[in-house]
Chain A
């Protein structure tokens, strides 16, 4: 499952025996495949290229249907912060994503460890509940949960989206459990023989050994919170001072009708932090996605 991190040695086709007689057709196939790849790459890069180019045009030029900025200008990136409360939205998103992630780690790491490593009565039932909770459409439980938060008086803020992470996040527990399962039991057994408590085993053996997995779970939840649209729509739409960037971007049009230049600059600004985090954590991240899939 985790072999993705060193995939170059695992190319099944390259290692499959080839007969010399088939060389010409193999070359043709190679060319065809790479031509197809290049064509697909061009199509996949198309949105990135044109969003970037449009974000560098003047507002007047975006109305002309031009494809190339003339002149190049960064004014849209400045206007994004003056025409909309983008800095406030960023602060809200950062608070939401950081607190949610920290709270999730505090509550979900011990729970996932218990599910993965401590067999106890009912642990399988809890695991099934976690899978259902993780896959259940959030709209199914939205009404009673919303009623609860109105009774506490926290609607109109992002707290209904942050605080539940103190009580575990189903997907994170699931992902962390999958990582913890990959640690052979001998390590924790050895620590127990040396007199370590379960908390000691977790903090001194398991957590140091699964740092990449824990990082992956943290990044997933950070992205999930940063990208969340339904949650802020449900709880904070009537209070613009609580809006995170994802929700703010969806409502932004510009002062005089849709201004595509500013909108595309804003799209870039919202996306760039995610891409930066990805490049710093690419390896653990991809491993995490792979592990969230299923092993036959």
Chain B
């Protein structure tokens, strides 16, 4: 900030407040802006603000959709933290995905992006190969992986057998089901890989040249040039990855359904939840089960409020950097 004299200062303040004072033109522009935003504001009110408040209200009630909600105080929360037989398993499984799935996906994405940034030959081809799996509908990708890894006829164990390796039961073994989903998560890491690749290609060449002139070796360049330039993207990928893992649902639910082989057309996911042995029962599946299969909507709301509080913790970290969403030079 340049040093300003008192009169200059006063002039600046006057100018600013004059700008702020609503002239007909600015008032008109505000009205136009609000008109443009009106449908979205209504949407935020109905599908964001209201449900957040209503969830808190329902969480203090017993509600089954048929009879009106009955206020029961903290009983849902007491049940949640002391009695619910599967909440511990569900929370543990979700936490497991946060701790393993998120970092492994990010590290793979950075590694592949690093290789792609340096590849000179057929770079478009490599990029497409690593990116395409991210486009495959998650249900289709999960169904495909349960087939590839199925212990009976799946190609993975067939090929392992050619090398004399007895493959595990993958999606049918409680100890292997979560790692199997991590392999799937790595296969579809293309979306974050592209963001890392763009960030890597965005690092100004001069910074590498300057580091070379200072006698930095490859590792030092990585440490002092590449990494600092990746930090904002890394933080973004980490936070959004954690929030996505907290709501991990589709892949786990579909893997359970398909691997159990139980459901057929018309049955839905009911009987196979968490298969095998609740090892894929995630927090959000448990919320869905209690809320929409057992119609304990009050209790599901308590689960939702707890999920919201945990997710908020990570949201706040991201929102403190909200200015990062404003590209430089954009005013």
- The answer to whether A and B assemble together is yes
Partner of A12, one of B42, B121, B135, B203: B203
Contacts A12-B117, A251-B264, A295-B327 hold; do A260 and B135 have CB atoms under 8 A apart?
no
| Least Cβ–Cβ distance between B264 and chain A, in angstroms | 5
Bound Cα distance A197, B55 (Å): 42
Among B1-9, B78-86, B287-295, the stretch that binds chain A is B287-295
Known: A16-B208, A37-B115, A270-B137. A264 touches B265 (CB 8 A): no
Q: Are B209 and A16 in contact (CB under 8 A)?
A: yes
Contact (A120, B52) CB under 8 Å given A50-B148, A293-B233: no
Complex Cα–Cα for A137 and B248 (A): 9
- Considering the chains assembled together, what is the distance between the CA atoms of A150 and B129 in angstroms? 44
Answer yes or no: A123 CB below 8 A from chain B CBs: yes
Q: Which chain B residue lies CB-closest to A257?
A: B261
Number of B residues whose C-beta is below 8 Å from A? Answer: 126
**A223 shortest CB reach to chain B, Å:** 7
- What is the minimal beta-carbon distance from A114 to any residue of chain B, in angstroms? 4
Are B288 and A226 closer than 8 Å at their CB atoms?
Answer: no
Q: Is the CB of A246 within 8 A of B328?
A: no
Count of CB-CB pairs between chains A and B under 8 Å = 360
Between A13, A230, A296, the greatest number of chain B beta carbons within 10 A of the residue's beta carbon is seen for: A296
* Complexed CA–CA distance, A271 and B37 (Å): 35
Q: Are B194 and A143 in contact, CB atoms less than 8 angstroms apart?
A: no
Number of interface residues of A (CB under 8 A): 121
B310 CB → nearest A CB, Å: 10
Binding site of A, secondary structure by majority: helix, strand, loop or mixed? helix
A64 touches B153 (CB 8 A): yes
- Structural contact, A260 and B153, CB atoms closer than 8 A: yes
Contact of A51 with B297 at beta-carbon distance under 8 Å, contacts A143-B291, A271-B136 already known: no
Please measure, in the bound complex, the distance between the C-alpha atom of A292 and the C-alpha atom of B34, giving whole angstroms. Answer: 25
B48 lies within 8 A of A11 (CB): no
- CB of A145 within 8 A of chain B? yes
**Is A91 interfacial (CB 8 A cutoff)?**
no
The answer, yes or no, to whether A36 is at the interface (CB within 8 Å) is yes
Cβ-based interface call for A190 (8 A): no
Evaluate contact between A275 and B135: CB separation under 8 angstroms.
yes
Can you report 25 A-B residue pairs in the complex whose CB atoms are below 8 A from each other?
A4-B194, A11-B117, A37-B119, A40-B130, A41-B129, A45-B129, A51-B147, A126-B37, A135-B240, A136-B48, A142-B288, A144-B301, A150-B65, A164-B47, A198-B36, A227-B139, A249-B139, A250-B258, A253-B264, A257-B261, A271-B136, A274-B136, A278-B135, A294-B232, A295-B324
A contact set with B: CB distance below 8 Å:
1, 3-4, 7-8, 10-17, 33-34, 36-37, 40-41, 44-47, 50-51, 54, 62-65, 67, 84, 107-108, 110-111, 113-116, 118, 120-121, 123, 126-133, 135-148, 150, 164, 166-168, 170, 173-174, 178, 181-182, 185, 197-199, 202, 223, 226-227, 229-230, 233-234, 237-238, 240, 245-253, 257-258, 260, 263-264, 267, 270-271, 274-275, 278, 282, 286, 289-290, 292-296
With A37-B115, A138-B247, A246-B139 known, 6 other A-B pairs at CB within 8 A are: A137-B307, A141-B52, A167-B46, A170-B48, A233-B288, A289-B194
Residues of B bordering A, CB below 8 Å: 29-30, 32-34, 36-37, 39-44, 46-52, 54-55, 58, 65, 112, 115-121, 123, 126, 128-133, 135-145, 147-148, 150, 152-155, 158-159, 187, 191, 194-195, 197-203, 205, 208-209, 212, 221, 229, 231-233, 235-237, 240, 243, 246-247, 249-250, 253-254, 257-258, 261, 263-269, 284, 287-288, 291-292, 297, 300-301, 304-305, 307-308, 311, 315, 318-319, 321-322, 324-328, 330-331
